[in-house]
Amino acid sequence: MCGIVGVYTRSEAVSERKMELALKQMSDQILHRGPDGSGIWVEGKVGFAHRRLAIIDLNERAAQPMHTEDRALVVTFNGEIYNFQDLRRQLQDHGHVFRTESDTEVLLHGYRQWGQDLPSRLRGMFAFAIWDRVRQELFMARDRFGKKPLVYAWCGDTLVFGSEAKSLLEWPGFERQADLSVIHDYMSFGYTPGEHTAFMGMRRLQPAHQMLLRPEHGPDNPPQPKRYWSLAKIDPDKANMTRDQAAAEFLERFDEALRLRLIADVPLGAFLSGGVDSSAVVARMAGIIQEPIKTFSVGFDIGGFDETEYAREVAEQYQTEHRSFKMDYSLIETLPEIIWHYGEPYSDSSSMVSTALSHKIREHVTVAVSGDGGDEILLGYSRYQRFLHEVEQLRAGNMSNAPAPHSDSAFGPGTIRDRYFRYIATFRDLHKQWGYGPALMDYYLTPSADRLPSFLEDVEADNAIDHAARAEVQTYLPDDLLIKTDIATMAASIEGRSPFLDHELADWCASLPQHLRVFERHGKLEMKALLKYAMEPQLSHNILYRKKQGFSVPVKHWLRNEIRELTGDLLTSKSFLERGYLRPEFVTWMLDRHFSGREDHGTRIWNLLCLELWHQTFLERRDPGPMPISIGSRAASQAMVG
C-alpha cells in the first residue's frame, strides 16, 4: 500500500530537472501514504514518484518506481495483488526471471507477457502506471471496485496523475477552480460521484477501467478509458440451489478470500464494529490463523452512538486481543485535518471516526481486515427493503401517478430512480429549487438523480433489491465508502483489506438470484439473510439479528453546541455568500430552524460546512496542510481514550 504520482509531457519547456522538482513536491503531499520509503524516476518526457508503505518483501530491492532488468518497463504501483504468487508461477513457466519477492515485480513481467489483459488477471486492489520505453506508451489501471484511487488532469501539454487530488494541485500549471456541475451533485450526495472531481479538469480513472496513452494522444485527443470488468449478472441456473447449498458454498469462497488477505510480512489485525460483517470476518479468521487476532472497536460515550458491547461479545467468544476506544465531542477538532486529507468536498461525518481509529490501530498493526462491501454484495441496507416495498406498490398500480413522497419533483411525477434517490439525497430537488443561488441555478434542471444508473428504472419485485445494490456498487461504494476507507487508513499509514470485495467472491454472490440472498427468517424478510444464515453456528442471535445500527456521529449536537458559532460565521460570511451557491435567506432559514431545535437540518448544514472548509483549504490558500484553525473548545488529543 503506497502513494503514487506521475507526469507525462509533450512540452519542450518541461525539463527533467523541472519534472523531478515537481514530482518531489507532489509526492510530499502524500507522505502519510508511504512513510517507509520514497523514490523518484525521471527519463525524458516521463517521471514517476512513489511513497512506500512496506507490506510484502520489506527489502529495499522491492522499492519503487521499479523497472525490468532491461529497463524497458517502469512501474509505480499502489495496492496489493493477492494472487501474485500464482501469477508469478505462471510467468516463471513462460521463462520470466524475478529479482524480488514482491507483487510489484509481477506487474512488470505480467504486462510484458499479457499487455493490456493484465488487469483482468489481477485479484486485489490496485492503481498503477507502467511506462513502456520501447513503444513510448503509458498504461494505467484501477481495481474493479475502486478500492485504490487514481486521479489525472491535463495541464496544457502535460498529463499529471496520482493517488490524491492534492498532489496534482502542486503541478505548476494546474489552475485551481471549482467544477460547479460537480458541486451541484455534491449537494445531493455529500461526495463527488463519477468521473469528474470537484476541481475543474481533474478526473478519476473509474473503477474497473484502464487507459493507454500513446504518442498521438494529447489534451485535444485524450486517450479513452476502457472498462475491463463488470459485476456478474444473476445466473438463473442457480435459482434451484437450496439455502444450505448456497450457505456452504459462500463460506468456502469467503474463507478463500480471507486467506488471500492474511498474507503479509507485517502485523495484521481486524476492525470489529460488532456488526454482522466485521463479526463474520473475525469469526472466520479465527478458524484460519493460530495466534489470537488483534481486534479494534470504537464508540461514542453517548447513548445511541455505541455498539462496542457487541464487539466485546464477539471478541470474548473468539478470545481475540481486543482493544476498544471511546470518543467524545472533542473529535470535532480533527475536522480541518479531515478536510485536507480527503482533498475534495466530502461530508460523511463517520470519516472522522474512521481516521481517528486508524491512528490508534497503527500503534499495534500495519494491516487491518474489514467488513467493507458486505451490504452491497449481500444486500444488507434497510433502504433496499423500502425500495422493494415501493416497487411492489408501483407495480400493483397503487402509486402509479403519484409523485414520490419527499421527491420534491418540480419535473412532474417522480421516476422509480427519483424514488430511490430520495433515500440517499441530502439536498433534494425542492431544497435546490428554494435555495440555489445564481452560481448553481443553471444546473438545477439537470437532476442529480440522473447520476444513478438508468437500470433502476427496469425493476420488478424479484430484482429491486439486487438492482439497488448494483447501483450503489457503481456510486456510493467507490465514491463514498471506499474513498473513506482508503483516506482514513492511509492517513494513519495502515492498509485496509476487504474480503467481501474479492471480485471472485462478489461475482459469485451477485450471480445468486435475489431470493437466495434476502429471504424470510424468524417471521420477517431479513436483509443479508444468506450471510446471517451461514453464520448462525458461529455468531449469536443478538449479533446476527438485532436491528442494524451503523456508526453514527453526533453532528446534530455539534452544530447546536460546540461549533454553532463557527458554523454560523462561516455560512453567513462574505466569502461564502459571494460564491453564490445558495440564497442567503435560505441559509439563514436553515440555521435558525436547526439551532433553535425546531427542525433537524444537521446533514445539510454539515454538507455546507465541509464544502466551505474545502474551498478555504484548497482554493483560497496555497499553503500545504490543514487549515490552522481551532474548531471546538477541547484539544483533539483528548478525542479518544483507550
Strand 158-162 relative to strand 202-204, pairing = unpaired
Taken as a whole, the chain contains a residue count of: 642
Q: What angle do CA 369, 371, 373 make, to 5 degrees?
A: 125
Helix (H) / strand (E) containing 578: helix 574-579
Place of cell 433537524: 600
Place of cell 447520476: 451
pLDDT in tens, 432-446: 999 999 999 999 999
Q: Closest Cα to residue 19, out of 35, 3, 1, 42? A: 42
Q: Closest Cα to residue 126, out of 143, 109, 144, 149? A: 143
| Tally of CB atoms within 10 A around 302 | 15
Query: Can you list the domains of the chain with their CATH numbers?
Result: 2-227 (3.60.20.10), 236-379+481-545 (3.40.50.620), 386-472 (no CATH), 555-619 (no CATH)
pLDDT in tens, 500-531: 999 999 999 999 999 999 999 989 999 999 99
Which amino acid makes up residue 182?
V
Cα–Cα distance for residue pair 365/264, rounded to 1 Å: 11
Q: What is the pLDDT of residue 360?
A: 94
- In sequence order, the 6+-apart residues with CB closer than 8 A to the CB of 252 are none
Cα–Cα distance for residue pair 1/80, rounded to 1 Å: 6
Q: Is 97 exposed, middle or buried (0-12, 13-18, 19+ CB in 10 A)?
A: exposed
pLDDT in tens, 11-51: 999 999 999 999 999 999 998 888 777 899 999 999 999 99
Flag residues of the chain having pLDDT under 50.
401-407, 410-411, 633-642
Tell me the DSSP string of 482-534: HHHHHHHHHHTT-EEE-GGG-HHHHHHHHHS-HHHHSEEETTEEETTHHHHHH
Q: Is 304 exposed, middle or buried (0-12, 13-18, 19+ CB in 10 A)?
A: exposed
End-to-end CA, the chain:
27
Cα–Cα distance for residue pair 594/499, rounded to 1 Å: 40
pLDDT in tens, 257-306: 999 999 887 889 999 999 999 999 999 999 999 999 999 999 887 666 67
